[in-house]
Amino acid sequence: MTKDIVAQIKEALRDVIDPELGYNIVDLGFLYEVTVKQGDARILMTATTRACPAAAFLKEGVAASATQVEGVRSVDVEMTFDPPWTPSCIDPAVRSSLGFANVN
């Protein structure tokens, strides 16, 4: 059941759109880890840089979206910059549309 909830959370997080890049945080590679224990979700994520002006907005959106998943009692969202995000984290199709086609 936990894996099912994790998959549902990841799917719900596709609704969280980075306002600067216009794509969801899953495809942008901002999502590092999702774990759930007894309904308590922990989400480890990042943003493009430490100074990203949308970081707080994204974190709030992640918490709100994950809370909507049935079986989730609480959500703890942690921002990290280790490892640092790079364009290579982006889904290849999205990366191409953003002009990063040659990044591995």
CA-to-CA dists, residue 60 to 7, 17, 18, angstroms: 19, 12, 12
Q: Is the pTM of this model over 0.75?
A: yes
pLDDT of residue 71: 95
Tell me how crowded residue 98 is: count the other CB atoms within 10 A of its CB.
15
Q: How far apart are CA 65 and CA 12, in angstroms?
A: 6
* Structural domains in the chain, sorted by start: 2-85 (3.30.300.130)
Calculate mean pLDDT across residues 28-49: 96
Which pLDDT band, with edges at 50, 70 and 90, does 22 fall under? very high
| Mean pLDDT to the nearest integer, 33-57 | 95
Put residue 31 in one of left, alpha, beta given phi > 0 → left and psi -120 to 50 → alpha.
Answer: beta
Give the pLDDT of residue 2: 65
| pLDDT tier, 103 (very low <50, low <70, confident <90, very high otherwise) | low
